Structure 1
Amino acid sequence: MNHIDSSKRNIGVNFNQTGAAVISLWAPEAKSVQLKLANRNLSLSKGEFGYWSLETADLSAGDTYQFLLDDEIVITDPASLLQADGVHGAATAYHLNNFQWTDQQWQNLPLHTYIFYELHTGTFTAEGTFEGIISKLDYLVELGITAIELMPVAQFPGTRNWGYDGVFPFAVQESYGGPEGLQDLVNACHEKGLAVVLDVVYNHIGPEGNYFALSGPYFTEKYKTPWGSAVNFDDAWSDGVRNYFIENVLMWFRDFHIDALRMDAVHAIKDFGAVHFLQQLRKEVDHLIKTTHRMHYLIIESDLNDQKYIQPLSANGYGMDATWIDEFHHALRVTAGEPANGYYSDFSGIEHLEKAYRDAYVYDGIYSPHRQKTFGGKADGHAGEQFVVCSQNHDQVGNRMLGERSSVLFSREMQKLMAASVVCSPFLPMLFMGEEWGETNPFQFFISHGEPELIKAVREGRKAEFAAFHSLGEAPDPQAESTFLQSKLQWDLLKENAHQQLSDYYKALLKLRKQYAPLSTDRTQMIVAADKVNNCLILQRWDQDQYVVCLLNFSKTVQDLIMPRARPYWKKIFDSADPCWGGPAIAPVSLDALANVTVQSESILVYTSKHV
């Protein structure tokens, strides 16, 4: 396979060392292509495989431009880096390599040390910008986070959107701070020792401002997705589409110094070619890593429970580094008391939580009543660092009708227990912004589209989705600015004792994970046992001669559990029910093997055989 030239961006408008604009547009079915400037048009030359090119000194950084196809079709550059006039405006030429980086000494963190903090730029701070995030980095470092995960920042319509309606994958949302603002943020994160994960969307393009089909066959009718026609990864002319998205990945890593990508719903990337798009992407990223000596990770979201996505290329897998596993979340929530409705109906609670700890995938080749079929495959042989788990995230909160967070659905003690369940797991833990202080504002679905028919369709779609929940009231209007504003974090809550106390609890919890080697991502040194009758779970983990035992009581009553015989003596290192965290009682500091220990309702006790 001939590698893409990973040393530079090869599509769109870029500037060479002499300052000239080097232009490349993929338009394989066009008969002619011209660069459309304010006062003149310049013809591009046709090359191989549908690419048109031009080098000119007539286009400078800051100038606006478009393309004219076949003397009649005006399009904006699909690889535009800056949409200062929004998704319907012309592109603004941007010199991507003018930024003055100061992170030359930065080395990406080992994946097994990642502690994710998922955030939405627009609602994380009052400012709703990258600069606003920078102002909170010291807080995140003190909390114990090692990697921030940004929800998508590709240019979308208006100023309010989750980001999954992006229509310019290369352009950074102007209202957030544009490309320079994102580079500033990444640079600042690296100075603080934080890795940066960026959420990207390659399974569809948003509806408003989507002019891709005017320039080339970016979509195919071979497959359907929830968003309409599938992106063309394996039909005629698909090479250009595949290269487009690979160039996008390489740009984030090379030019924005992003450390890892989280790729949205890759099961909706329809590709039945001999070399799957993700396999090709893995090879190109590996080539970039070899060239730059900087490590980058590829993390996916997939609902297939198919280990081929995280199998190495050498085993005919797709070579992804890690995957989200929502099943841990689902099993945890049902165990905590979430009604077993919808997709939660597949989860029995504590027994499935036990299975999630042990096997990663709950449905790994067993029958799924909700899907009405046998589903999934086993994750044997895959390290815990290949799985990302959480107790809440943007999807699971925002796709509720009212966008309620755990803070208003569960007791304070259960919130603490759920957090510890995630952090003490053998997987990579992820927090959702604000959960650590018990944020009470919801995180709702919001948009700021400009097309009336589209706004109407989205409103009606949300109402129809929640038609069975009329007793809860009306679904919030996604177009209303108030829906967006109500979803912003309330940082002032940290001034209140109860919220600060919960934040301190999270700090202690993350410190515990880092301090004790058994609380790592090693899945092989672990025993987990569930007590279905009493809704309790005992998790034993070890590293060499150090053991840690976690006693989790999800019931609403005090339970007496028996300490394992693995070690003769146990010393307490964490107690979520301690009054210092607002809990009801303090458990014994030390215990012998097989001793009875009283575990408060909705709480966790953690003991070790070797205190450090």
Structure 2
Amino acid sequence: MQTERGLLELDRQRDGGFFAGRGPGGVGDDYEFVLDDGERRPDPCSRCQPGGLRGPSRIVAPAELTAGTRRHPVALSELVIYELHVGTFSEAGTFDGVIERLPALRELGVTAVELMPVATFAGEHGWGYDGVYAYAPHPAYGGPAGLARLVQAAHDNGLGVILDVVYNHLGAGSDAVEAFGQYTTSAETVWGRAMNFAERGVREWAIQNAEMWVQEYCIDGLRLDAVHAIVDDSGEHVMAELARRVKALDSSVLVISEMEIGDLSPIELWGHDTQWEDSLHHAVHVLLTGEHEGYYAGYGKVEDVGRELQRPEGRRFVVCAQNHDQVGNRAIGDRLRGRDLRLAAFCSILSSGTPMLFQGEEYDEARPFQYFTDHIDPEIARKTREGRRGEFAAFSGFAAEEIPDPQEPDTFLRSKLDPNQGDTDHMRYYRDLLEIRRGLPDEPATGVHLDEDRRLLRFTRGPINCVANFSDREQDGVPPRSGKVLS
């Protein structure tokens, strides 16, 4: 191992999987591993990569950064999530930039912020799902110290922090990590080679990473990305083992999964608290937009919404009007706006599911959230650009020249939230919805009445009678003659 203080020889341990050595060094020192071929590589479990993917690793002590910080447990029955992307949430695009708006989020009525992945990835900006150094908070966001400040500030504002983590593949530039062992297999996911969880060392790489976020950064919950893409034939699925070990540290830590529609393995078999569920979003979206292509096929009736509102154990499913996928994976990243957005929020927030808001929707953000990358390797950049265009080739209404280039800086800059937003009627509507929700029982909708011809849906949630008008015209009895009308 090459350090600032010289070359340190590491000896293979008896089990053959680990090397160890002792020498001078401390917090703030940079180091690299020197492999048998003489190549220098960062630590695959590096806690800090100040120079990005190819720079040396740096010794940090995250536990010292968060000394005095305690977790802020949020009960599932009280969970209202606000999903945000650190790089576009503020003009600064940093952890500190998020801190400035935490009081407003608390006042809005959310109880936890969910950070899209922050592990170090290629370049300065990206969605974060192609991370390489899973243990190292992205340097452009503020690194370990910045994340520690954000967690502390969120807890000071009465908000929990949920971190989006990715264990289904490694991002572009992962050759430096894979030089240390067989981290991946020949099996392919949509995003790259699948992780090799048959290897104990790779399992520990993922599970100990989850444990680190909880132990050293006082993270209150983990959102596990696309667990359906994780192949593991072990007796105990790696995502079940991860949940078990994380909850052994603190049973209040939330484990949330993204899983394909209809597969309940995370909550029924793996011990996870809740999982993303897109069916309500799809049902509402098709009624509002008339879009039927791709995964929207099969929806289009009011009864689709009614069915989702009656789902038992709703709290175990995260529902939304919008999220990063449903906006950013549209060809031009356009959002629901105005009345359509308010109606979608009405259905998700007043459902019995666990509601999640996506950054900006609370004030009706007009700017898009597009797919952006900053790959350094020109070949990877070319493939990313062509892949994005090819993804929408089968969709009517989109020509290749209309698809934003992920590598263009303007694609990233267009996706930053508008900083000049005041207290609008739309925002007050969201606050009212969230206030009403706090008084509702934890049970599914009852008294569901469907009118397909008039595109009306009526349902009851506790003491609240709800009416959703999916038509484009005013209708008799909507809104009702008595009671409070939100929109």
What TM-score do you get using the length of structure 1 for normalisation? Answer: 0.76
Deviation string, structure 1 residues 304-349 (Cα, Å, up to 9, x no partner): 42222201xxxxx111110000111111101212411111112123
Match of 2:285 among 333, 340, 343: 333
Distance 2:387 2:179 in 1: 27
| Aligned AA (1:305) | G
Aligned with 2:453 (options 533, 538, 545): 533
Q: Provide Cα deviations, 1:183-220, integer angstroms capped at 9, x if missing partner.
A: 11011111110011110100011012442221001111
**Which residue does the alignment assign to 2:304?**
352
The answer on 1:268 being equivalent to 2:229 is: yes
Query: How far apart are the structure 2 equivalents of 1:502 and 1:244?
Result: 44
Offset at residue 55 of structure 1 (A): 4.8
Give deviations 1:255-274, integer Å, cap 9, x for gaps.
11110111110000101121
Does the residue aligned with 2:421 lie in a helix, a strand or coil? helix
Q: Does 1:434 align with 2:400?
A: no
1:150 CA displacement: 0.4
Alignment of 1:179-578 (within 5 A): 179-221=144-186, 223-234=187-198, 238-289=199-250, 295-311=252-268, 317-359=269-311, 383-407=313-337, 412-467=338-393, 468=395, 469-471=397-399, 473-494=401-422, 500-514=424-438, 516-518=439-441, 521-523=442-444, 526-542=446-462, 547-560=463-476, 572=483, 574-577=484-487
CA distance in 1, matches of 2:154, 2:106: 10
Higher Cα Rg, which structure: 1
**How far apart, in 2, do the equivalents of 1:443 and 1:355 lie?**
30
Mapped contact 1:442–1:487 kept (Cα < 8 A):
yes
Paired with 2:373 and 2:320, the residues of 1 have a C-alpha distance of: 25
Letter in 2 for 1:435: E
User: In structure 2, what is the Cα distance between the partners aligned to 1:187 and 1:509?
Assistant: 28
Task: Report the CA distance between 1:128 and its aligned residue.
Answer: 0.4
Q: Distance in 1 between matches of 2:479 and 2:330?
A: 39
CA distance in 1, matches of 2:125, 2:440: 42
8 A Cα contact 1:157 1:209, kept in partner: no
Which SS does the other structure have where 1:280 is aligned?
A: helix
Q: Does 1:157 align with 2:122?
A: yes
The one of 42, 46, 52 equivalent to 1:76 is 42
Task: Label 1:261 to 1:513 Cα distance change in 2 as closer, same or farther (>3 A).
Answer: same
Q: Which residue is 1:172 aligned to?
A: 137
Q: Secondary structure at the match of 1:406?
A: coil
1:138-166: per-residue Cα shift (whole Å, max 9, x none)? 11111111111100000011111000111
Q: What are the superposed Cα offsets for residues 403-461 of structure 1, whole Å, 9 maximum, x if unpaired?
A: 10112xxxx22222111111100001111101111111110011111111111111111
Distance 1:200 1:100, change over 3 A: closer
- Checking the alignment, whether the CA contact within 8 Å between 2:281 and 2:321 is kept in structure 1 is yes
CA contact (8 A) 2:170 2:192 kept: no
Q: 1:450/1:356 Cα in 2 relative to 1: closer, same or farther (>3 Å)?
A: same
1:360-409 CA-to-partner distances (Å, cap 9, x unmatched) read xxxxxxxxxxxxxxxxxxxx6xx2221100011111111111110112xx
d(CA) in 2 for partners of 1:563 and 1:406?
A: 22
Residues of 1 paired with 2:4 and 2:193: CA distance?
A: 34
Distance 1:218 1:336 in 2: 44
2:33 is the counterpart of 1:67: yes
Q: Separation in 2 of the partners of 1:505 and 1:310?
A: 32
Measured in 2, the distance between the counterparts of 1:50 and 1:351 equals 59
**Contact preservation (8 Å) 1:529, 1:539:** yes
Give the conservation status (yes or no) of the 8 Å contact 1:44–1:52: no
Q: What's the offset of the Cα at 1:93?
A: 1.2
CA contact (8 A) 2:282 2:299 kept: yes
Gaps of 5+ in 2: none
Shift of 1:252: 0.5
Q: 1:493 deviation in Å? A: 3.3
Query: Is the 8 Å Cα contact of residues 101 and 187 (structure 1) preserved in structure 2?
Result: no
Mapped partners of 2:121, 2:403: distance in 1: 23
Is the 1:417–1:576 Cα contact (8 Å) retained in structure 2?
Answer: no
Structure 1 pair 227–54 and aligned structure 2 pair: CA distance change class (3 A): same
Q: 1:44 to 1:402 in 2, by over 3 A?
A: same
Q: Quick check: 2:197–2:238 contact (8 Å CA) kept in 1?
A: yes
SS at match of 2:250: helix
* Percent identical residues: 39
Please state which structure has a larger fraction of its residues in strand: 1
Q: Report the secondary structure of 1:217's partner residue.
A: coil
Alpha-carbon contact 1:208-1:449 (below 8 Å) kept = no
Contact 1:321–1:386 at 8 Å: present in 2 too?
yes
- Which position in structure 2 is the counterpart of 1:124? 89
**What are the Cα deviations for residues 39-88 of structure 1, in whole angstroms up to 9, with x where unaligned?**
53222222244432435342221111111232534321110011111111
Q: Is the 8 A contact 2:66 2:148 kept in 1?
A: no
- Give the distance between the partners of 1:417 and 1:472, measured in 2 at CA: 32
Structure 2 residue aligned with 1:51: 17
Root-mean-square deviation (Å): 2.0
Larger RCO, structure (CA 8 Å, separation 6 or more): 2
Is it true that 1:41 corresponds to 2:1 in the alignment?
no
1:108 counterpart = 2:73: yes
What's the CA shift for 1:576? 2.7
| 1:84-115 CA-partner distances (Å, limit 9, x unpaired) | 111111111112222254444x5402111111
Q: In 2, Cα distance between the equivalents of 1:576 and 1:286?
A: 40
Q: Distance in 1 between matches of 2:351 and 2:36?
A: 58
Instruction: Confirm or deny: 8 A CA contact 2:63 2:217 kept in the other structure.
Output: no
Which amino acid is 2:55 matched to?
G
**Matches of 1:255 and 1:533, distance apart in 2:** 56
SS in 1 for 2:145: helix
